[in-house]
């Protein structure tokens, strides 16, 4: 009697488990159809709908700095900004791999580099964007930065806890509902003026420099080298670009700034047609009017920088 009861309970549990898995597949499929940020670029990647000749990878400093409209017009080609807010090099690899798996090989890859890209990822930013990407290929990367990932891979629907908006986002996907999307080819312009937060940061530091003791740069550069090898294998030319940042911020980064630049340069030297381009001494870096904070160019600054990047791309790669 007990044995039969346990068998029935097992079958019921298995049925519920399978139903939850099916429901999770339906939700993730809806998220893959969502046409709004941050899902839109991911879904364009998955569909193989980008196929750009030039792609820009990186964090928010890519997302805010490289304007494809300006670059396309100047170089007469198709480029796309795949910068992703709040991502360091380890998480950036997920987008890189997805792009290479589904889109044509770009002629040029521009990878934005800096100090914060080497920071360890402590929390997945806008975690719900990764829900449809819980694949075997991404498990190692995600599991390394989030202790809950292992359980979320095993227990269906568990990953959505605290993210009840995924049901609305899924419905938007199936209904092809498109809310306001200000991005153009992945680029997001910010036309704000200087926000003054840097002055507050300097005041809090009270004359001290920024402390980077929490970062194991040797370990993080190994992750970067792995990513760079993958970039180099999927493009004819790779440009490692350190975009402008406000010069006073650079003074606060003095403890590691020069060394990290050297490491990026050394990394580039290991590969054919891979170059490190440093814009930190560019004239843009010395004027607040081109920034909305010490690390991000505003719309005016990004427009000027994009012109310069177009010239840089033309210098290092001849399109055929």
Mean pLDDT of 291-307: 97
Please tell me which residue, 318 or 45, carries the higher pLDDT value. Answer: 45
The CATH code of the domain that includes 206 is: 3.40.50.1110
pLDDT at 192: 93
Is it the case that residue 132 has pLDDT exceeding 80?
yes
Q: Using an 8 Å Cβ cutoff, are 177 and 35 in contact?
A: yes
- Tens digits of per-residue pLDDT, 72-119? 999 999 999 999 999 999 999 999 999 999 999 999 999 999 999 999
> Closest Cα to residue 250, out of 282, 289, 204, 218?
282
- Tens digits of per-residue pLDDT, 266-278? 999 999 999 999 9
Mean pLDDT of 10-32: 92
Residues in the chain: 320
pLDDT at 87: 94
Confidence of residue 183 (pLDDT cuts 50, 70, 90): confident
Report the number of distinct structural domains present in the chain: 1
Lowest mean pLDDT among 27-36, 177-186, 197-206: 177-186
Judged by DSSP in three states, 320 sits in: coil
Residue ranges of the alpha helices (H) in the chain? 2-33, 39-46, 60-63, 68-75, 89-102, 136-145, 149-154, 165-174, 197-205, 217-233, 247-252, 257-269, 299-316
Q: Which domain holds residue 22?
A: 2-316
Calpha distance 66→68 (Å, rounded): 6
Omega prior to 38 cis, within 30 of 0: yes
């Amino acid at each position: 009697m007990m044995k039969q009861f346990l068998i029935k309970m097992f079958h019921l549990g298995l049925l519920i488990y399978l139903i939850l898995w099916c429901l999770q597949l339906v939700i993730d499929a809806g998220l893959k159809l969502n046409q709004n940020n941050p899902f839109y670029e991911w879904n364009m990647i998955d569909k193989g709908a980008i196929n750009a000749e030039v792609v820009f990878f990186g964090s928010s400093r890519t997302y805010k700095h490289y304007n494809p409209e300006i670059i396309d017009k100047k170089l007469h080609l198709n480029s796309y900004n795949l910068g992703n807010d709040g991502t360091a090099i380890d998480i950036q690899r997920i987008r890189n791999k997805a792009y290479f798996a589904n889109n044509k090989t770009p002629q040029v890859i521009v990878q934005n580099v800096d100090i914060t890209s080497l920071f360890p990822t402590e929390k997945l930013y806008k975690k719900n964007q990764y829900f449809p990407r819980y694949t075997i290929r991404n498990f190692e990367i995600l599991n390394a930065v989030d202790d809950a990932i292992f359980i979320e891979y095993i227990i269906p629907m568990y990953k959505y806890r605290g993210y009840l908006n995924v049901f609305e986002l899924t419905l938007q996907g199936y209904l092809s509902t498109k809310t306001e999307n200000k991005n153009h080819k992945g680029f997001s312009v910010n036309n704000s003026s200087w926000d003054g937060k840097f002055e507050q940061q300097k005041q809090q530091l009270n004359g001290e420099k920024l402390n980077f003791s929490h970062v194991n740069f040797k370990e993080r550069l190994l992750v970067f080298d792995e990513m760079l090898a993958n970039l180099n294998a999927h493009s004819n030319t790779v440009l490692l670009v350190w975009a402008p940042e406000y010069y006073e911020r650079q003074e606060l980064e003095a403890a590691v700034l020069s060394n990290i630049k050297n490491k990026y340069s050394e990394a580039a030297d290991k590969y054919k047609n891979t170059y490190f381009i440093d814009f930190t001494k560019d004239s843009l870096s010395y004027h607040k009017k081109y920034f909305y904070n010490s690390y991000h160019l505003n719309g005016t600054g990004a427009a000027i920088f994009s012109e310069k990047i177009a010239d840089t791309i033309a210098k290092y790669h001849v399109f055929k």
